[in-house]
Amino acid sequence: MEKKLGEYYTDGRTIEYSIIGEGEPIFVFHGGHSNCNEEFGYEALIKNGFSIITPSRAGYGATSKEIGKSLATACEYYNKLLNYLGIKKVHLLAISAGGTSGIYFASKYPEKVRSLTLQSAVTKEWLTPKDKEHKAAKLLFHPKTEKYTWKFISRMNNLFPRFIFRQMFPSFSVLSYKEAKSELNENDVEEIRKMNHRQRSGYGFLIDLEQINEISAKDLHSVSCPTLIMHSRYDSSVPVKHAEFANENIPTSKLSLLDTWRHLIWLGVASNETDEKLIGFLENCSIKDYKTGKKTMK
């Protein structure tokens, strides 16, 4: 997949972004510890005629942490990026910790949004200060330490890929490794190794922990575009109750619970289901084929 990288400068701030493919645009709010180099699930979308625009969210990659002053400020800048690129309307794809950005953007900029897909998405309170995971995250993924955390993880992953895969398994799935073993793809271990090499937290993850508290049920109620909520039944990173909460509060939503074995719904033998359901949903929400101009509304 040929990737075009760019940076948009405005108000003394920078937004780093990537564009892959040509066709009807999908605007991706990547998950935590990621950036514009994200690639999970992209291949099937590109093959089916979509283009993917991925900004590094506030504090991630080369994107200024200052635009993460609030969820409202961050979304204002994401909208400026779309205006700069000359894109009038997009499908939103919001992943994991990027879920709240997708929900807020869809609720505040409905004229820009053709559809919203939430994948393994955070939709309400998550990792509060009372949680031990929150305390660990504040230490391990602090801007002063996260570089060394990810260097250590990636180095160990190179040396002992299967061992690291097994060690990380409980953080992604409520199933035991033995229970899920038959659902694994032979390349899942390598995909995790590659993921750990591109992961960085910057200031972004701490910003995520703050911005998640800014989303409300009112924001979900305000989403008016067709919405697909995709979530693994066995997700331990973001419990399935987040998907159920979104489905209860977004009037236009459809909930799709998947049998993939973990938080990363693009891995495992059931990952084809993820691609098929998403592409079917996007095609139903499309206005036209960008190459032919032919109507494709079903």
3-state secondary structure of 133: helix
| 96 is known as an active-site residue | yes
- What's phi and psi for 133, nearest 5 deg? -65, -35
| 250: nearest Cα among 149, 110, 40, 141 | 110
Mention every residue, 6+ apart, whose C-beta is less than 8 A from residue 291. Answer: 22, 23, 49
Catalytic residue, chosen from 96, 101, 253, 256, is 96
d(CA 129, CA 125): 11
- Strand order of the β-sheet with 3-10 is 3-10, 13-20, 50-55, 24-29, 90-95, 113-119, 227-232, 253-258
Tokens of 123: 């939709």
3-state secondary structure string across 193-240: HHHHHHCCCCCHHHHHHHHHHHCCHHHHHCCCCCEEEEEECCECCCCC
The residue written with tokens 């979530």 in the block is: 231
| 223: nearest Cα among 101, 122, 130, 42 | 101
d(CA 269, CA 222): 36
User: Residue 129, class by beta-carbon neighbours within 10 Å (0-12 exposed, 13-18 middle, 19+ buried)?
Assistant: exposed
Active site positions, annotated: 96
